[in-house]
Structure 1
């Protein structure tokens, strides 16, 4: 049986050349910059440095801008939070199973953590239950984490409800973690927003949404069904202009509501439609999070 982590590393090599992977490494390292760091030394300011790192007293004495450099005081903990409900067994926009895209994204983030000497934990599940794996280091541990996600996700899983996994994190996790959530598209709500605000007050949070497939068109009558409730999706309805327009309008309103909720909660969200987009979107997600911080 092929290692899931080996697949992730192979796809990283295919979808991102060495320079891009180096940039991704740099963006990952920047996420914790300013948190749990010890002062190291000073160096001259260069364009592009964060002005918040300028040591103004040393600058005044020296006569030119000086930047404070830091070293990590300890390992950081990356907590992968994964939706393994049956919604993740559905197809995403590019035609892949959402589970496969999630495994790629979670594997890349976990592997970045491993490369930087950080430890990785997991919280996953559905509406019927939540499973947690303590944070550890090493590729063997990361492989077990990915296999846990892979085996837990299927059409026989419970309904997707990422709120249950987030509630578990809020109840049980102490300290300050980098939380990376990969989930299905979800709708905003006041209770969810309150939970996200509570988590964001304690942790760094990155969120990756896997986009739904578009509404099926002609020729699918009797063949397609909703993984959420096993209901048949009638192809002739999808060919109706009115139905298609209503679907697009409702999806847009849901997306807008979710994006507004994340913005108010101070959480950076990215979207991905297929595994070939994961590297690019993770880089953009980390970069946006760094600038937002």
Structure 2
């Protein structure tokens, strides 16, 4: 059986031709442009220097403009942060399992990082536990990270709560990293917004939301709910009757509630200065990541 990383490479080849893959690779490389540097010392300003590099406090003390000088950091650390709670075992909008879409997205971003010589680590978990795997290089290491996500996100896992994983990062991760968060459609709240602003002050953050399945009635007749294709909640395994979904009023209310939740989430992430992308299925991952990286570069 092919490894998960090999599947990621195969899907990258299918979903993106050579030129598109090159553009995606270039967008990844541009994310840290101007940020992959550590402070070294100060020197006098000369015409042509970037105004944003002026150290205004030091300049005021010195009496003339001083420029911050930096030394390049050869390797960045990319931290994959993802939900492996049972919500990720639910169905996505495309009909695929959310976990499979998440693994593909994490694999693509992780592989891009590997190609650029960056180190890749993982923080994942659910409401019961958070697991952290240290950042290393190499394809074998990336394969282990993907397998860890794949094996832990299932219906037997505890409920999803990506906030717990984000709190773990805030408490334990030192230095400045690129965080790539792949999560379910989370609900916005003040505490999560505050946590995200705290993280964004230290790290670069890319956020990818895997969209929920649409509300749709079963198309099969019969008395057996499984044979009919009826749905069950991954939260508590309760049966979700299909009949209400045929009601225009229910559909309208569901659509309105979904739109309001999406708008609140987007506003929360935007308020924290975080670039978000969305994918409905694996076919969207390559184009979704390209758009996400491009928006992040322009925002920076």
Structure 1 stretches of 5 or more lacking a match? 40-54, 60-69
Superposed CA offset, 1:115-157 (max 9, x none): 0000000000001110000000000000000000000010101
1:189-200 alignment, distance < 5 Å: 189-200=189-200
What is the rounded CA distance, in whole Å, between the counterparts of 1:204 and 1:228 in structure 2?
A: 31
Give the whole-Å Cα distance in 2 for the aligned partners of 1:129 and 1:240: 40
Structure 2 CA distance for aligned equivalents of residues 96 and 117 of structure 1:
32
Q: Deviations over 1:223-247 (max 9, x none)?
A: 3111122111111011111111111
How far apart are 1:38 and its partner, in Å? 7.5
Q: What does 1:185-224 align with in structure 2 at a 5 Å threshold?
A: 185-219=185-219, 222=225, 223-224=230-231
Give the match for residue 98 of structure 2. Answer: 98
Aligned residue in 2 for 1:291: 298
Whether 2:119 is the aligned partner of 1:129: answer: no
| Equivalent position of 2:67 in the other structure | none
Tell me by how many angstroms 1:58 deviates: 3.7
SS in 2 for 1:57: coil
Matches of 2:144 and 2:138 in 1, distance apart?
10
CA distance 1:38–1:134, shift in 2 (3 Å): closer
2:174 and 2:260 map into 1 onto residues whose CA distance is 35
Distance across 2 between alignment mates of 1:140 and 1:8: 13
Q: How many residues align?
A: 268
For 2:204 and 2:110, the matched residues in 1 are separated by 15
In structure 2, what is the equivalent of residue 46 of structure 1?
Answer: none
> Partners in 2 of 1:56 and 1:241 — Cα distance?
67
C-alpha contact (below 8 Å) 1:87/1:228 kept by paired residues: yes
Matched, 1:247 2:254: yes
Tell me the equivalent position of 1:270.
277
Distance in 2 of aligned mates of 1:38 and 1:165: 27
| Cα deviation, residue 56, structure 1 | 7.5
Q: Secondary structure at the match of 2:80?
A: strand
**Where does residue 289 of structure 2 map in the other structure?**
282
Secondary structure of the equivalent of 1:124? Answer: strand
* Equivalence map 1:35-184=2 (5 Å): 35-37=35-37, 57-58=47-48, 72-184=72-184
For residues 38 and 83 of structure 2, the distance between their equivalents in structure 1, rounded to whole angstroms, comes to 35
Distance 1:88 1:218, change over 3 A: same
| Structure with the greater alpha carbon radius of gyration | 2
Measured after TM superposition, the shift of residue 35 of structure 1 is 1.0
Work out the CA distance in 2 between the residues paired with 1:56 and 1:235.
70
Determine the C-alpha separation between the residues in 2 that align with 1:72 and 1:187: 39
CA contact (8 A) 1:219 1:235 kept: no
Distance 2:202 2:124 in 1: 20
Equivalent position SS for 1:29: helix
Could you list the structure 1 runs, at least 4 aligned residues long, displaced by more than 6 angstroms after superposition: none
Distance 2:127 2:202 in 1: 24
* Superposition TM-score, scaled by structure 1 size: 0.88
RMSD after superposition: 1.7
